[in-house]
Amino acid sequence: MVVITVSGPPGSGKSTVAKRIADLLGLRFVSAGQLFREMAQSKGIDVVGLNKQAEQDFSIDREVDARSILEAEKGNVVIEGHLTGWVVRDAELKVYLNAPLDVRAKRIAERESINIDKAIKETVQRETSEKERFKKIYGFNLDLLSNFDLVINTSLYDLQDLLDVVISAILKSKPIKGVVVQ
C-alpha cells in the first residue's frame, strides 16, 4: 500500500505534479483542493468566500481533511492538498512544493483567467485566512516544514525535472512492486 502526499500553497504546482506522479506510478489521484473548490461552487461562492465561512465554521476544513485521511487509508494514492502532509500521518513520502508569490499568482491568474493583481490579492487573503484557521483548528504552523521528506521550490525547475526528483524520492523511500515509470 502506497500513500504519497503533495502539499503546498496555492499555485505551487502541487496539483500538476501530483496528477503526473499518480499517472506515472499507476496510483489514484485525490485533490483536497478540488473538493474545497466544489464545496465553494455548491454554495454559490468563490474560494475566498468559502475561506471566510471556514474561519467561523471549522467543519468545512475538517470535512475536507477527513476525506483525505479516508482516501489515504484505502492506499495506492497520491493525495494533493494544502494540509495533506500534516493530516495524513502515515504517508511513505511527504512532498512540499512552493514558489515565490509572484510566480504562484501568475500561475493562478492563467489557470483562472483573472488578472495578476486580483490573483495576488486573493492568494494573500486566502493564505492569511488559512494560516490562522489551521493554527486554530489543528495547531499547525504552516511555516514549519520539518515533517516533510522533500521540499522543492518549483520556480527553479521545469515539470520534467520536478517529476524526476519526486519519482526518485518515492522509489528510494519505498520500492513499489511492478511500477515502471513511463
Q: Say what the pTM is.
A: 0.88
> Which residues touch 51 (CB under 8 Å, ≥6 apart)?
125, 126, 129, 130, 133
**15 annotated as a binding-site residue:** yes
**What is the structure's pLDDT at 176?**
56
Q: What is the pLDDT of residues 89-133, one digit of tens each?
A: 989 999 999 999 999 999 999 998 999 999 999 999 889 888 988
Q: Mean pLDDT, to the nearest integer, of 71-84?
A: 94
What is the DSSP secondary-structure string of 80-120? E-SSHHHH-TT-SEEEEEE--HHHHHHHHHHHHT--HHHHH
The C-alpha atoms of residue 146 and residue 151 are separated, in whole angstroms, by: 9
Structural domains in the chain, CATH included, are 3-171 (3.40.50.300)
112, three cell numbers: 483562472
pLDDT reading at 181 higher than 60: no
The C-alpha atoms of residue 147 and residue 139 are separated, in whole angstroms, by: 14
**9 annotated as a binding-site residue:** yes
pLDDT reading at 178 higher than 80: no
Q: What is the pLDDT of residues 21-73, one digit of tens each?
A: 999 999 999 999 888 888 899 999 987 788 889 888 999 999 889 989 999 99
Residue type, 50: L
Q: What is the pLDDT of residues 1-28, one digit of tens each?
A: 899 999 999 999 999 999 999 999 999 9
Please report how many Cα atoms fall inside a 13 Å half-sphere around the Cα of residue 144, on the Cβ side.
8
Higher pLDDT, 182 or 28: 28
The partner residues of 77 in beta bridges, in order of sequence, read 3, 28
The C-alpha atoms of residue 118 and residue 103 are separated, in whole angstroms, by: 14
Q: Mean pLDDT, to the nearest integer, of 145-150?
A: 93
**What is the structure's pLDDT at 182?**
45
**155 annotated as a binding-site residue:** no
Residue 61: which of 95, 38, 18, 32 has the closest Cα? Answer: 32
**12 annotated as a binding-site residue:** yes
**75 annotated as a binding-site residue:** no
Residue 101: which of 141, 155, 166 has the closest Cα? Answer: 155
**173 annotated as a binding-site residue:** no
Q: Mean pLDDT, to the nearest integer, of 147-171?
A: 93
For residue 20, the tally of other CB atoms under 10 A from its CB is 18
pLDDT band at 163 (very low <50, low <70, confident <90, very high): very high
